[in-house]
A and B are shown apart, each in its own frame.
Chain A
Amino acid sequence: MFRFTTGERAELYGAILQAFGEANERLETALGLDEVRARLRSAGWLDDIHDDDLQDALRQLRTWELLDVVQNHAENYRTAEEYERRNLQYSLTRRGEAAIAAVEQALSVLAATGALQTAVLEAVADRLNELYVLLGEAGSSDRRVFSTLQELESHLEALLANTKTFNGELQRLLRAEGADLATFREVKAATVAYLQEFLRNLDRRAQAVASAVQRVEQRGVFLLHERALRGAELPPVAGADPAPAWLERRRARWDGLRAWFLPTDGSRPRVEQLHDVARRAIVTLLQVLDRITESRRRSSSAAQDFRELARWFAAAPTEDDLHRLWSAAFGLGSARHAHLAHPDPELVPSSQRWAEAPPVEVSALLRTSGRTERFTRTGKVRDVGGIKAARAELARKERAELEAAWDVLGTGDPVRLSAFGRLDHAVFERLLDLLGRALAARPDGGGVRRAVTSDGRVEIVLRAGDAGRAVLRTSRGQLEAPDYLVEISVPGGGRAGVRSGVRDGAEAE
């Protein structure tokens, strides 16, 4: 049915149909070829068009069943051309009429600007009051009842349609597609003002409508519809009696009215949803406006900085500039360094150039095979002075002893001091050192003392235990002390084996 709206010749088809539509309004139901041509101009088709093309177009519209051909056999024609020109009369089919109506409707929706007119609400209330009066007077004419009811319904329809378009318009506005900030601001500010005004009056008017509905219902809706039916003087239709269907439609409309202003089931009237929509729209619009104003006012807050940076990124000339900007603004990039060094860097004098100095040792496999192969780091050269090595060895040993001591002492969870039982003397010294530090610290509110070693790596937490005494033995003697609850935390958590060893010992005792 709407095929004529697309394609190359859509405009011509549209113009032709419009010509027929206009003719229809003047009650000319059939047009000949020349009449169509004459009316095309008024339908907005200004180009010249050849007869054949026009015929083609009309034929096409016929195959789409939008036009019908009426023939007049009463006259005599000399040529086929004349026959076509004067005999064939085209008229719109029902489908054609519907198509025109639909297109017009679509255009009007597109052109419509949504507005919530409070005046419509007033008109609805007025008509209802009028109905109330009419129903109250015994002598009033059914015809008046009918026409008033129809007015009421058309106002109601207008209200629904307007709300729909207004809502759509609002959503479009909220989507914030306005590129021109100045008009954007203006339009939105005006909308906000309008909405506020609208809200102020909405309550009162909705209330007026609701009470008018109630009043009419006191007189009886059924009666109202019956009288309107009589006033309508429905034309007879073939088949069934049109009255029940008509009445049914009226009742549905009345239910719609109630749903809007006075729902029977006690739910919220739909007119209040208008409230919500409008209020939400005001809030959102104000937020958007705020954002615009805020973006104009330059403050150096972090959010502003990020926004500004976004603009810079959007405007950076080249891709490398993007990365440079990232590096400058965020400084989150990693350092980058070579990892291959000379085995003994001090052997190469610093006065040499790189070209003269010996190269670093790169895995031969990597270079020669070109295949992916794990290569190891260059081996450490065991070197120069034996003394240096010995010292390093000694240092390592001491270090290892220390580590071992911490491993033994690391408890993880709190244990009793007595749980340590028998200890190696070196380890015992470490423990004593830690205890000394902890006891030197001032206890906090819960009587808990905390201390760390001077390197900060090991932490001890000391809590008073029950009144028991702990005895620690080493190869050189024994220590008796209150049985504190001790918690020693070592980086890496100590090794579980050693720790459980301590506990096992405690259980054995």
Chain B
Amino acid sequence: MSTLANQLVLAEREDVSRGVRLLLGRPLITERADRSTFELIRRRQGPLTKWFDYHCGWQLVVEPRLGYARLLKIRTGPDASRPARRPRSGKAPFDRRRYTLLCVVAAELLPVPVTTVGLLADRVVQACATDEALPRFDTASKSERMALVDVLKVLESFGALLTMDGVTENFVDSAQAKVLYRVDATLLMRLLAAPVGPSRLAVPAEELPRRFTELLPELVRESRYGGADASEVQHNLRLRHSVLRRLFDDPVLHHDELSADELAYLTSPTGRQIVRRAAEQGGFVLEERADGLMAVDPDGIATDSRFPDDSSSARIAALLLLDPLTAAPGGLTPEQLTAEADDLLRRFPQWAKSYQSQDGAQRLAGDAVRVLTDFGLADRTTGRTVARPAACRYRVALAAGSTP
């Protein structure tokens, strides 16, 4: 029986490492949308909960009866590289209208168990009209209906809204479309992950734009780390969580992005050991270098996009632009990058059709740089794009030997 026990341990380890990465990639997993993944998480709920709680301080909520698993991710430094996206082929990021509508719709859905798209739209119109901080919502305009549909479809994809009859998309063409929804209020409430409820901060609407930058840190402040008079334990807890959150949520963790005590923790024997163990349990390949750390996910399941990858012209261009970028220690100006992109477009005239136009090179360079910054491989400072140390791992392998 000892071999069986071994096998069980092995199987569990594999499940847990998959579960960790699946949840990192999708913090909300519903049984309805992905049964097998949900099963895996439900089965390994214990070890997964422990892993996230110990290493990242993130709560994993698994509701077997309600059929969803939610990792309540809190990011210490929220970044803009992973926006909500429109559930259409272009996957364009949400705009202000859609973000605002998403919140209004969620608030209006909470008290009603069942509703139709028309009734919901009416409630949204009223809610917007009675709140002077919100722009009016007008169902007569097609673009507004389109925005509402995007929002509803996103909520459907989360499983917070279930279509019982009709197709949401029809609302775009006609405000008279008949779509019946059931609302999953508990799931809806679980969408909010911030430890501090926004309404508790009570900021007057007219001061919002001015105080916006201080709002975000307030929103993610966690009381368990203590304030200025944090105890030794709380202090260590905060260090562990803040370092590991970044390691497991962000593509690269450069040492120069850490504060002094975070870096000290990361380079201490204890810190190292914890990081290594966490990466191993999560199924990551840990890449440790003198200038930073990287958790590589060889299966590519804990990520929303891949690099290097051939799925878009911008990504291919990003890979190719890395060469001139890493070769220039001071970074490149936008003009230089455009010239490089122009060179690419000329070398491969059959490639990147959508960029073969007047300002194509400029757009291509811009999109490529965006890919690089999103992957932590480049940085835009004072108008120049500078390669970050980790960018060197994608150098051409022969470069060291062939060029003097």
Contact = CB atoms under 8 A, between A and B. Distances in A.
A328 B28 contact: no
Contacts of B292: 354
A291 B126 contact: yes
Interface stretch (A74-82, A129-137, A176-184, A205-213): A176-184
Given A291-B130, A326-B94, A370 B320 contact: yes
A374 interface: yes
Contacts of A305: 192, 197-199
B99 A326 contact: yes
B79 A327 contact: yes
B194 A329 contact: yes
Given A330-B191, A335-B302, A300 B78 contact: no
A317 B212 CA distance: 8
Interface stretch (B175-183, B213-221, B222-230, B233-241): B213-221
Most buried by B among A176, A313, A353, A354: A354
Contacts of A332: 27-28, 73, 84, 158, 191, 193
Interface in B1-30: 3-8, 10-12, 21, 24-28
Interface in B50-83: 71-75, 78-83
Contact of B348 (A304, A324, A371): A371
A386 interface: no
B199 A456 contact: no
Interface string A319-348: 111111111111111111111111001000
A252 to B, nearest CB: 35
Contacts of A338: 251-252, 294, 296-297, 307, 375, 393
Nearest to A398: B3
Contacts of A307: 103-104, 107, 127, 131, 199
Interface stretch (B132-140, B163-171, B257-265, B332-340): B132-140
Nearest to A359: B395
Interface string B255-289: 00000000000000000000000000000111111
Contacts of A374: 310
Interface in A351-367: 351-355, 357-363, 366-367
A353 B290 CA distance: 5
Interface stretch (B141-149, B202-210, B378-386): B202-210
Contacts, number: 318
A334 B24 contact: yes
B212 A327 contact: no
Interface in B93-152: 93-96, 99-101, 103-104, 106-107, 110-111, 126-127, 129-135
B33 interface: no
B347 interface: yes
Contact of A402 (B7, B12, B350, B375): B7
A101 B343 CA distance: 75
Interface residues of A, number: 88
B248 interface: yes
A295 B131 contact: yes
A371 B392 contact: no
A323 B82 contact: yes
Contact of B7 (A367, A399, A456): A399
B131 A354 contact: no
Nearest to B136: A177
A360 B198 contact: no
Contacts of A311: 131, 133-134, 205, 208
Contacts of B199: 298-301, 304-305, 307-308
Contacts of A321: 80, 212
A329 B83 contact: no
A315 interface: yes
A117 B262 CA distance: 75
Given A316-B212, A332-B27, A336-B81, 5 more contacts: A291-B127, A308-B199, A327-B83, A328-B220, A366-B308
Interface of A: 175-177, 179, 181, 288, 291-292, 295, 298-317, 319-342, 345, 350-355, 357-363, 366-367, 369-375, 377, 395, 398-399, 402, 433, 453-457, 491
